[in-house]
Structure 1
Amino acid sequence: MNQKQSAISSLDFTGFEKTHTLRSIFQVAVNLGLPLAVWRAPHQKEVNLMVSFSSAQEVERPDLETCEKGFIFSPFNPKSSATLFIKSDFHVSFDFDEVIQHEDLTSEENVLQAKFFIQLKEQLKKPEEKLNYHVKDQEKKGADIDYKDLVQLGIDAIKNNEFLKVVPARSKVISLNDGFDLITKYLQLCDAYANAFVSIVSMPETGTWLGATPELLLEVNHSQFKTVALAGTQRRDIAKSISDTAWTQKEIEEQALVSRYIINCFKKIRLREYEEKGPKTIIAGNLLHLKTEFEVNMKETNFPELGTVMLELLHPTSAIAGMPKEAALNFIQQHEGFDRSFYSGYLGPVQNEQKTSIFVNLRCMELLENSAILYAGAGVTVDSVAEKEFEETEMKFNTLLNILNSQS
């Protein structure tokens, strides 16, 4: 019996409570300094956990068609730090009726792999303890400029014809309660935001990021390609039907700019055969957004590498940077005053059952030892009002704060 068969046959999750199993795998991976990702796709109940038995790989230009199964994590500015890939050496999915182990183990001898299974068997038998996670040891510099002043600078630049739209961001540092438990809060996010991609990415290279993003960057499912334009934000009134939602001219134009950006990407590669659906109002937790979907049949258009090509063209999209892209990025770099790091980058599972789903890393936070850094931005156009854009970022912070501040 080889090492792969031995490891699988000797690992039995039967009889262990599912949340305890999830916590145990997470804890052992962190103890061994291994990178891991946890995610739950929109409208699904199944939670996935993926561990690599080696360091995350740096990827200069992701090739979605040829890369192996894993999880990708990219910063807002790929020039400032590397895109990272977590190879799927161990993949478990929890539908909370059963635990399914996917046989991704390598048959090659791996010391960390052996240690992982030995420690996991021991960890499963232990009582619950405080969960550790990877923390990146670094000082975070806050922005030098007040956010409302930054928005006003953006409005003035638009009036000066420097660009049509810009998406300035801000960060907020909060203290974590003594009883903060990452897995508990993660599962609460899953319950609260059924329409979101809810994730934890934890590795020594990046620290630990928790998020619940509503925005798909792209999806490749066999021969179908999909991307979305998501923009425009307002607070959700649960007493009102979403069909009664009214949008301002500013919000409609902001969303139209994102749709136009995607269509321009298609034009650059001479792709004319695509299906466009929307815009329509969608729910994202405590917020509403306008969304347009674009779909392409890669077989009919004879464009099998469309996912890789569009990933390079799309990121960073006008929904997180602005339009035209280069002018907006120059403004952000010059005036925003802090490092976005992995906020508004992208993340998601790659080649998981012939499906790749990559999301924009929004509504997220970076976890430190006893605190967390939250990130949010707002789309600024010529019709923007600085106070309202500030309020929009506060509403976006609340996606996570509502869960973090809950007592349960």
Structure 2
Amino acid sequence: MELTQAVKALQRALCEELPDTPGVRILSVHLSLADSQDPLCWLNSQTCWPQFYWQHRDGHEEYAVLYALRTFTSLAEGQSFLSRFPEYPELRLWGLNAFNPQQGQLFLPRLTWQRQGTQTRLILNLYSESSLREAAQEAESWLSGLCPATAIPALAARVCEQVHLPEKDQWTGLVTEATQAIGRKRFDKVVLARATDMQLSRPMSPAWLMHASRQHNSHCYHFYMAFDSHKAFLGSSPERLWHRAGRQLSTEALAGTVGRDADDSKADQQSQWLLKDKKNQHENWLVVEDICQRLQAVAGQIDVEPVQVIRLRKVQHLHRAITATLNHADDTACLMQLQPTAAVAGLPRKDALAFIHAHEPFNRGWYAGSAGYLSLASAGFCVALRSALVQYDKVRLYAGAGIVAQSDPAEEWQEIENKVAALRSLFS
């Protein structure tokens, strides 16, 4: 059925008698939507927040979720909440984990637009600490206030000013200091990041940037968290942090980078160079070893697949898939073991983080954290890379580079330029 019919069907279902007791209920209806129906456009047309959009990098899953019935400031808090409702293993929370994994913003949505393969559903959650009957009455009224989907406004702003944190000279000093620290055996690797602050000529729609990035950056997880009508954190990330189905875990090492030429033959040459380059191979293997070592605390058998090259619009990366069987289906343990990975922090983690906190001239916040969903049955989070924080007429873009003993400051600066171009070029 069409979206308006689906909403009416949910409203009719809410008229059925529900108990005057606390608890959870999940109602859903199937949708048959035209190809032109875009859940991101529908989400952006609504006038309540938070809003969250997520698309799997292979395109087979897509979600748009709306309005918080309950919010959580950490994944651990959310997992504790879900454990109260084992009869609803598919009940999902959505949101972000900060670079500091003990901090987050996740929420139980009232309404979810879900596409899995060719199957699309509209899912309504009811939750109350006192009365499901009252929750149903509130939901029925709330559904009446939904707005029809409208087009996302095109960008009508231009970039007036651009400032890097750090600027190039300071970056050169930081990389030099990092390589010297590596030489003194303080740590093996550190990932240094840069923030690029852009002042626009007028406020922009954060959903426009997500829409444009989704169009241009393929083979990426697309994530979008709108906190209100003017503030959002979003990105198009190539990297999975973890996916769990039951006790089966999938993660990966994505480290080692080269540019991607528009000419396919030249891009082939670049990928072959990447596969043979000792510095990039070393950087990738450091990440693999760290992930496997950390998973030993929570998993049994761990398998690592052969290295491959993943091609994105502006860059190419070395990639190794890693699978494991967890001792327990514990996503808080997965988060604490895997985030931040060596690909976004360094090795050893504690020493690399100390260097980052002491030297980076900005707070990473949500950048290099993770975005996705959590349920008792499964969970899926991508690393929050190739990302931006949008606030009215200001946009902050993020990118980072792994620094090892052989790193050259100019080459690492060019690497982050290539990475940030995935979003920065959209403003051209």
How does the TM-score come out when normalised to structure 2? 0.78
Give the equivalent residue in structure 2 for 1:220. 244
Q: Does 1:40 align with 2:40?
A: no
2:320 equivalent among 264, 281, 292: 292
- The question of whether the paired residues in 2 share the 8 Å contact of 1:228 and 1:293 is answered with yes
What is residue 135 of structure 1 aligned with on the other side?
A: none
Q: Which residue number corresponds to residue 164 of structure 1? A: 188
1:362 matched to which residue of 2? 385
Alignment of 1:255-266 (within 5 A): 255-266=284-295
Does residue 246 of the first structure (1) align with residue 273 of the second (2)? yes
Superposed CA deviations along residues 104-141 of structure 1, whole A, max 9, x for unmatched, are: 34455348745542321xx328x657599xxxxxxx99
Structure 2 counterpart of 1:374, which letter? L
The sequence identity of aligned pairs, in percent, is 21
| Superimposed CA distance per residue, residues 255-288 of structure 1 (whole angstroms, 9 cap, x where no aligned partner) | 111011012113344x451211022111133211
Q: Shift of the alpha carbon at 1:363? A: 0.2
Q: Please identify, of 169-178 and 318-327, the stretch whose mean Cα deviation from structure 2 is larger.
A: 169-178
Pairing 1:92–2:110 present = no
Residues 224-251 of structure 1, C-alpha deviation per residue, up to 9 Å, x if partnerless? 2111111001111342364852122111
Amino acid at match of 2:312: A
SS at match of 1:245: helix
Amino acid paired to 1:356: A
**Per-residue CA shift, 1:4-62, capped at 9, x if unaligned?**
7248899999789523x64343332xx33x21210110111553101233353222626
Q: Which residue of the other structure, out of 118, 123, 131, is the alignment partner of 2:144?
A: 118
Indicate the SS of the match to 1:278.
coil
Write the distance in 1 (CA, Å) between the matches of 2:170 and 2:336.
32
Following superposition, the deviation at residue 368 of structure 1 comes to: 1.3
Name the structure 1 match of 2:92: 69
What residue identity is the alignment partner of 1:5? A
- What's 1:146 paired with? 170
- 2:340·2:369 contact (CA, 8 Å) conserved in 1? yes
The amino acid that maps onto 1:26 is N
Distance (whole Å) between structure 2 residues aligned to residue 289 and residue 213 of structure 1: 12
CA root-mean-square deviation: 3.6
Seen in structure 2, the aligned counterparts of structure 1 residues 27 and 11 have a Cα distance that, compared at 3 Å, is farther
Deviates more, 1:384-393 or 1:171-180: 171-180
Aligned residues: 383
Q: What does residue 421 of structure 2 align with?
A: 398
Bigger shift: 213-222 or 104-113? 104-113
Kept after mapping to 1: 8 A contact 2:45/2:148: no
1:5 and 2:13 aligned: yes
| Residues 185-194 or 255-264, more deviating | 185-194
| Aligned counterpart in structure 2 of residue 25 of structure 1, from 22, 38, 43 | 43
Unaligned 5+ residue runs, structure 2? 1-8, 16-26, 84-90, 156-162
1:225/1:307 contact within 8 Å kept: no
User: What CA deviation, in whole Å up to 9, does each residue of 1:71-92 have, x standing for no partner?
Assistant: 131111245xx31212132100
Cα 1:112/1:170, change in 2 over 3 Å:
farther
Secondary structure at 1:109's aligned position in 2?
Answer: helix
Q: Give distance in 1, aligned partners of 2:179 and 2:185.
A: 10
TM score, norm. by length of structure 1: 0.82
Task: Identify if the C-alpha distance between structure 1 residues 172 and 2 changes in structure 2 by more than 3 Å, giving closer, same or farther.
Answer: closer
Among 338, 346, 371, the alignment partner of 1:314 is 338
Change (3 A) 1:226 1:177: farther
In the alignment, which residue of structure 1 is the partner of 2:253?
A: 229
1:3–1:109 Cα contact (<8 Å) kept: no
